[in-house]
A and B are shown apart, each in its own frame.
Chain A
Amino acid sequence: MFDLDLRSRKPIYEQLVEKFKELIIKEILQADEKLPSVRTLAKQMTINPNTIQKAYRELETQGYIYSVKGKGSFVQVSDDAVNQEELMKIKEKLTADISEALYLGVTRKEIEQLIKKAEESIGGQKTND
């Protein structure tokens, strides 16, 4: 399904949570799609089933998935809460990057030009579709 970096310092369960979030946000896993069962995933990836269980529980409290007793876990229809969190993260990252750019001497105008360029590239993509 996907690979985890067992050499990474990040706890495996955090990596799992992040991977699933990414798959859900990018809609590779779609609303109401069933997630692999804890057992299957444990066997497939050689990960402790308790760790996977914990990751699923975390995803559930964060509102990314829901579970049906005896059936398994499913992707939650994406709502604003999910997007809000992503938005906040991106804004934080942008702020950090922009402050670094300003510190390094990039001018406001140049940043504005970059925004324009990004806008155009998104627009371009849309017409290509």
Chain B
Amino acid sequence: MIELRGVEKSFQNQRVLNDITLQIKTGSIYGLLGSNGAGKTTLLKIMAGILKQEEGSVQMKEAPVYENNEVKNKMVFIPDRLYFFSHYTIEQMAKFYQNIYSGWDQSRFEELKDIFGLDIKKKVSQFSKGMQRQVAFWLALSAMPDIMILDEPFDGLDPVVRKKVKNLLIRDVAERQMTIVISSHNLREVEDICDYVGILHNGDILLEKDLDDLKADIHKVQAAFRNHVPAKLKQELTLLHEEKRGSVRLWIVRGSEEVITEKVEAYSPVVFDLLPLTLEEIFIYEMGGVGYNVENILV
């Protein structure tokens, strides 16, 4: 389990994280979402023990992370800008990882060679961006960590490789309860594999929830009424957003499917459609709620 309590961080008087408290369960895949500049990378680096928070605590299995070799031995961080030693081949990088991570599994490394199909005698710097990312995953998976922290991990991977990498990650979660923290703007990518998401905005955690619960609690409603829209109904529903499309109303409503259906149907709508939201839509409407609007950008 990863536990953050009251974490605060500033860079040169600029506050980046305010009082972040969150828990990530063992064996969970946690998606950290957020607007640009929200503090995602900083938060991940603090979790990985690369940066030190000014206030609060970061604990993994009840031990602090920062400068704790024992914890870090079981954790791999893949940053969004990869770093490999210049002139090192994949084989040499593997040797280096083997020296650092006590859990390194050489047979796993060999096995993954067939899956990734890259030449281990070649210098990492000679590979393309996407291939370098594959090398990073290859090394990380061979180190058999308990925790993987991934910053924009799927950037630059083609769809085939992405699928392969996701499957490998899921395998480790299923087989040995590995915990994964993923940050991404690409919400489609996260939606497939995460079970828990947290949304970060301006250094605050806006919301943190089980992904399915999150989806079960917010719906898109399209409704039309014979005469005019009953004003009372609008009061009864927790509306987050309203749009008029001809005579059809589009509402984003908080609440469960059953409750919303019952309330709307009481006013006998002529048209009534209820859809779950995609994670992307949830993100947009939640952000809209704190004044980070799409409309503000698309003037």
Binding site for B on A (CB under 8 A): 6, 9-14, 38-39, 42-43, 46-51, 54
Contact = CB atoms under 8 A, between A and B. Distances in A.
Contact of A46 (B175, B193, B194, B277): B193
A92 B213 CA distance: 26
A42 B192 contact: no
A10 B276 CA distance: 6
A54 B211 CA distance: 12
Majority secondary structure, A binding face: helix
Majority secondary structure, B binding face: helix
A6 B170 contact: no
B163 A11 contact: no
Contacts of B216: 11
A47 B170 contact: yes
B130 interface: no
A43 B173 CA distance: 9
Contacts, number: 52
Given A6-B192, A43-B170, A43-B171, A50 B29 contact: yes
Interface string B29-53: 1000000000000000000000000
Nearest to B180: A48
Contacts of A13: 212
Contact of B174 (A10, A12, A43): A43
Nearest 7 interchain pairs by C-beta? A42-B174, A50-B195, A39-B174, A49-B174, A46-B167, A9-B276, A11-B212
B6 interface: no
A46 B211 contact: no
B87 interface: no
B28 interface: yes
B63 interface: no
B170 A50 contact: no
Contact of A9 (B29, B195, B212, B277): B277
A43 B167 contact: yes
B167 A9 contact: no
A54 B213 CA distance: 11
Contact of A48 (B193, B215, B277, B278): B193
Nearest to B177: A49
24 contacts: A9-B275, A9-B278, A11-B211, A11-B212, A12-B192, A39-B175, A42-B173, A42-B174, A43-B167, A43-B170, A43-B174, A46-B163, A46-B166, A46-B192, A47-B193, A48-B170, A48-B193, A48-B194, A49-B27, A49-B170, A50-B27, A50-B195, A51-B195, A54-B212
